[in-house]
Amino acid sequence: MSGSLWVTGLGPGAPEQMTPAARQAIEAADAILGYTTYLRLIAELAPGTPREESGMGQELQRVNRAIDLAKAGRRVALVSGGDAGIYGMAGLVYEVLRQRGERVTVKVVPGVPALAAAAALLGAPLMNDFAAINLSDRLTPLEEILRRLEMAVQADFVLCLYNPQGRNRVEPFRLACEILARHRSPETPVGIVRHAYRTGQRVKLITLAGLPQAEVDMATIVIVGNSRTFVYEGKMVTPRGYAAKYALGETR
């Protein structure tokens, strides 16, 4: 008898930021699998349900195990930080199933993505077109990352940079800062958010000139404004375009 596999986005981490559907999927599961840090975030949720945790770099083993449990008739919640379909586990589940030539019932449960959580804390930086780029070259060649970044910068997208820098992985961030400096004003607003809606949250507004010296790591989202982004009362704002069509100060 086949069970089901619910690939579940936890959102940024705080319980109140988790969607009701994600909570329901976890509470209804009879097995919960996930990265160690993510399982700690939901330690108080469904505490009696068996859990299997694994570390960074063990995503493939985690997915195969989740599929095996679902095939054995279990209802499995495979948890992922943020949204499971944005740099999360959902894609790998489908890739592995395709490679194995097997079918199980899969449902992807969306969560609040890290870029949305960071943007909310910064103000309204994503009100116009933006691009998300992961600077980790563990799975994507560095040349490809930099090419995408160069094109996005030239197109004047607001940029959401995931995994900007690791303990032993500093070159992608350094090169990204060089690309940004070539195409954007040093006064461009930049928002740095670490551990959004988690213990140790840090939110900081700087300019592009200060980005190379900024403290960033794998738990940080960096949002780089475009040519129209401004700072108002400590908040980062990218205009949607209303000012070009309407008199914003009118009350009627």
Binning pLDDT at 50, 70 and 90, where does residue 14 land?
A: confident
pLDDT score at 252: 66
pLDDT score at 182: 96
pLDDT score at 55: 86
| pLDDT over 90 at 238, yes or no | yes
| pLDDT over 80 at 53, yes or no | yes
pLDDT score at 145: 98
Q: Which token pair is 112?
A: 């609040």
Taking residues 32-45, report their average pLDDT.
Answer: 92
| pLDDT over 60 at 1, yes or no | no
- Please name each of the domains of the chain with its CATH number: 4-112 (3.40.1010.10), 115-237 (3.30.950.10)
Q: Which of 147, 30, 133, 22 is nearest to 81 (CA)?
A: 22
pTM, whole model, 2 decimals?
0.92
Task: Calculate the average pLDDT of the chain.
Answer: 94
Taking residues 140-152, report their average pLDDT.
Answer: 97
Alpha carbons 170 and 176: distance in angstroms, whole number = 10
pLDDT tens sequence across 91-119: 999 999 999 999 999 999 999 999 999 99
How does DSSP assign 23-58, residue by residue?
HHHHHH-SEEEEEHHHHHHTTTSSTTS-EEEE-TT-
